[in-house]
């Protein structure tokens, strides 16, 4: 009878173990379902922040090193580090895949944003929160370019493009 009793106890213990594992999985699944999802593919564009829950107005200001003629300067904002993406793409062979396809996959549905600094050297862009990289270049006899990482959070954020935070300074010949 001990053999039957011990066999029944073993079955009950196995059932209890399986029940505990299922309860743990159910608890984790319940928490996972309540975690807020990132807004994949949330587009960013110039315009008002009304009706765009969680969007941030990013103010970009160019502090010119010397007085220059007023001109509009293009600015690109990328949701990934394009330099790192280029280095990763070039580091190993990817037969049949173009760099543009690789970058699109890396951006996971988020789109780059193009803007223009006005004559005063300012622009306001509405972006979803997250890490962005600002790319800009000031043309001229001495070209200055920027590749700045920016953590976009809150309602407003300001980024200043100065000679001190420039990525590269090159003299044209």
Q: What is the CATH number of the domain that holds 136?
A: 2.60.40.1120
For residue 13, the enclosing domain spans 1-35
Cα Rg of the chain (Å, integer): 26
Instruction: State the residue for tokens 């793409």.
Output: 89
pTM: 0.61
Q: Are residues 73 and 129 in the same domain?
A: yes
Task: Write down the pLDDT at residue 169.
Answer: 76
Structural domains of the chain, count: 2
Domain presence at residue 48? no
In terms of residues, how long is the chain?
Answer: 173
For residue 74, tell me if it sits in a domain. yes
Residues 30 and 65 in one domain: no
Alpha-carbon span 89 to 94, nearest angstrom = 8
Same domain for 88 and 11: no
- Alpha carbons within 13 angstroms on the beta-carbon side of residue 150 total 30
**Residue 19 per-residue DSSP state:** H
Q: Are residues 114 and 165 in the same domain?
A: yes
Q: Which residues of the chain have pLDDT under 50?
A: 39-52
Same-domain status, 89 and 140: yes
Q: Is residue 130 domain-shared with residue 99, that is, in the same domain? A: yes
Neighbouring-strand partners of residue 172: none
Q: pLDDT digits over 84-134, tens only? A: 899 999 998 888 889 989 998 898 888 899 999 888 888 999 999 889 999
In this structure, the strands spanning 113-117 and 73-78 are: antiparallel
Instruction: Answer whether 111's CB lies under 8 Å from 44's CB.
Output: yes
Pair (7, 73) in one structural domain: no
């Amino acid at each position: 009878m001990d053999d039957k009793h011990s066999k029944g106890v073993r079955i009950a213990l196995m059932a209890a173990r399986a029940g505990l594992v299922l309860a743990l999985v159910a608890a984790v699944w319940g928490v996972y379902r309540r975690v807020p999802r990132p807004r994949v593919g949330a587009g960013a564009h110039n315009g008002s922040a009304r009706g765009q829950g969680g969007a941030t107005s990013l103010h970009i200001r160019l502090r010119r090193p010397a007085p220059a003629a007023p001109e509009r300067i293009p600015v690109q904002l990328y949701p990934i580090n394009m330099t790192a993406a280029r280095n990763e793409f070039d580091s190993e062979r990817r037969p049949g895949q173009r760099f543009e396809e690789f970058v699109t996959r890396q951006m996971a549905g988020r789109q780059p944003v193009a803007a223009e600094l006005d004559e005063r050297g300012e622009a306001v862009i509405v972006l979803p929160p997250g890490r962005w990289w600002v790319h800009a270049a000031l043309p001229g006899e001495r070209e200055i370019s920027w590749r700045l990482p920016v953590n976009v959070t809150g309602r407003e954020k300001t980024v200043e493009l100065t000679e001190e935070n420039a990525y590269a300074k090159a003299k044209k010949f």
